[in-house]
Chains A and B, each alone.
Chain A
Amino acid sequence: EVQLVESGGGLVQPGGSLRLSCVHSGLSSSSYWMSWVRQAPGKGLEWVAIIKQDGSDIHYAASVKGRFTISRDNAKNSVYLQMSSLRVEDTAVYFCAGGDGWTSSDWGQGTLVTVSS
């Protein structure tokens, strides 16, 4: 069974930075892509970024490109989301997700990021 556990959320001021982590276990596929997806309070789901198993292919949503960086450390079974120049509108629950290909079959419980002064 695949398990994903996020951490690193919290309160940060506008313009600040935060790094989210996601530790995964139980993966059996060698082609497992990892994503970050967020949901702002009272809003729908928004895809943020995705990274290939070996880190060789990365894509971002336009709303975060240039401010967020997704990375992974396979030796630590971890995926990260480095968030910089944070805005109030980045406030959301951030989910780590993964699957074979770009569809996310496995999800963490999420971590809350609040950007406020």
Chain B
Amino acid sequence: EIVLTQSPGTLSLSPGERATLSCRASQNVENNYLAWYQKKPGQPPRLLIDDAFRRAIGIPDRFSGSGSGTDFTLSITRLEPEDFAVYYCQQCATSPLTFGGGTRVEIK
């Protein structure tokens, strides 16, 4: 099983600042099948990025994904108030599919 470790656990930032979230895999994620989701309380997860860098339909360009192999990054430039949430990475290359533990982006 591929274990995904997200860091930091919590990121305290102000609106307008840049957020950089890390997702590290215990082994190579084939074809970089790595997705990022945003999760808010009482709402379902929202797909932001798939295949490590491809923005999902309707996702603003302030969200970007990068990385390959075992190290992946989600960047959010110029945080908007609605961006404060928990973010999860998921590897979709190998069964069992697995999620990281999440990074909470909170208002400083």
| Chain A residues with a Cβ under 8 A of chain B | 35, 37, 39, 44-47, 50, 59-62, 95, 97, 99, 101-105, 107-110
The answer to whether B33 touches A102 (Cβ under 8 A) is: yes
Q: Which one of A59, A61, A95, A101 contacts B45 once the chains associate, using CB atoms below 8 Å?
A: A95
The answer to whether B99 touches A60 (Cβ under 8 A) is: no
**Most interface-central of B46, B57, B90 (chain A CB within 10 A):** B90
The answer to whether A103 touches B88 (Cβ under 8 A) is: no
The residue in chain A whose Cβ has the minimal distance to the Cβ of B45 is: A107
The answer to whether A103 touches B33 (Cβ under 8 A) is: yes
| Chain B residues with a Cβ under 8 A of chain A | 1, 33, 35, 37, 39, 43-47, 50-51, 56-57, 86, 88, 90, 92-93, 95-102
Q: Which one of A46, A101, A109 contacts B99 once the chains associate, using CB atoms below 8 Å?
A: A46
Separation of A44 and B101 alpha carbons in the complex (Å) = 6
Separation of A97 and B1 alpha carbons in the complex (Å) = 21
Separation of A50 and B82 alpha carbons in the complex (Å) = 30
The answer to whether A59 touches B102 (Cβ under 8 A) is: no
The residue in chain B whose Cβ has the minimal distance to the Cβ of A62 is: B96
Q: List 15 A-B contacts (CB under 8 A).
A: A45-B88, A45-B99, A45-B102, A47-B98, A50-B95, A59-B96, A59-B97, A61-B96, A95-B45, A101-B33, A103-B33, A105-B47, A105-B57, A108-B44, A109-B44
Set of chain B residues within 8 Å of A109, measured between Cβ atoms: 43-44
The answer to whether A44 touches B99 (Cβ under 8 A) is: yes
The residue in chain B whose Cβ has the minimal distance to the Cβ of A47 is: B97
Once A45-B102, A47-B96 are accepted as A-B contacts, the answer to whether A62 and B39 lie under 8 Å apart by CB is no
Q: Which one of A60, A103, A108, A110 contacts B92 once the chains associate, using CB atoms below 8 Å?
A: A103
Set of chain B residues within 8 Å of A108, measured between Cβ atoms: 44
The answer to whether A62 touches B1 (Cβ under 8 A) is: yes
Once A50-B97, A59-B96, A62-B96 are accepted as A-B contacts, the answer to whether A110 and B102 lie under 8 Å apart by CB is no
Instruction: Give, as a whole number of angstroms, the nearest-CB distance from B106 to chain A.
Output: 16
Set of chain B residues within 8 Å of A35, measured between Cβ atoms: 97
Give the top 9 A-B pairs by smallest Cβ distance, nearest first: A107-B44, A102-B92, A59-B95, A47-B97, A103-B50, A45-B99, A44-B102, A103-B92, A103-B35
